[in-house]
A and B are shown apart, each in its own frame.
Chain A
Amino acid sequence: GNSVTQMEGPVTLSEEAFLTINCTYTATGYPSLFWYVQYPGEGLQLLLKATKADDKGSNKGFEATYRKETTSFHLEKGSVQVSDSAVYFCALSHSGGYNKLIFGAGTRLAVHP
């Protein structure tokens, strides 16, 4: 069946460090891929998405490229800030929309000054 695997956290970085959070998926066909972020005390928010192979989603300095050959959608940011501290969820959807999202377990990121 469809599934999403992402690296376990927590990930602890110093401010301005480079971030990578790995995400791989298993799915038939061509799912849409998403990264959601959850800041403390808030609901999940869509961070970025990609709907087809080789698409790059980007937002707030974060990027992720839909790699069909490696079934991956790794999240990267060149220089993290303390305010990026949150839990990041990788997800996929086969409906083309946001109806039935399949999530990874989430990766907690802690950025220290």
Chain B
Amino acid sequence: GAVVSQHPSRVICKSGTSVKIECRSLDFQATTMFWYRQFPKQSLMLMATSNEGSKATYEQGVEKDKFLINHASLTLSTLTVTSAHPEDSSFYICSARDDGAREKLFFGSGTQLSVL
């Protein structure tokens, strides 16, 4: 079946540094990808919708200057957490919608970010 590769699976960084997370569709093209965040014991929350070749659409309350999204190709979207702080520590998950079967959504395995 279709696979979405998300890297890294786990990252620890110092406060003030930036971290980039990659989301790659391996065997299909994805014009649209989604980024979610999950705090412990809370729901997966949609952060933004990433569109290839255009600006991402951010959900209310998500700082676009802090969470930079780049979707430069039909198979890759990146999320960069800039100037990370301990409160950004969370589980981040991406998903990609198959352009050839637009009702199908495939998820990455997630990235656990810990900011010290």
Contact = CB atoms under 8 A, between A and B. Distances in A.
A46 B2 CA distance: 12
B95 to A, nearest CB: 8
Interface in B45-61: 45-46, 49
B102 interface: yes
Contact of A44 (B43, B45, B93, B102): B93
A98 B106 CA distance: 10
Contact of A43 (B32, B97, B110): B110
B4 interface: yes
Interface centre among A45, A98, A100, A104 (most CB of B within 10 A): A98
Interface in B70-115: 93, 95, 97, 102-110
Interface string B17-60: 00000000000000010001010011111100100000000000
Contacts, number: 53
A43 B105 CA distance: 11
Given A42-B109, A43-B106, A104 B43 contact: yes
Nearest to A97: B103
Nearest to B41: A105
21 contacts: A4-B43, A36-B107, A38-B107, A38-B109, A42-B109, A43-B4, A43-B6, A44-B95, A46-B105, A98-B97, A98-B103, A99-B49, A101-B44, A102-B43, A102-B46, A103-B36, A103-B44, A105-B38, A105-B41, A105-B42, A106-B43
Interface of A: 3-4, 8, 36, 38, 41-46, 89, 97-106
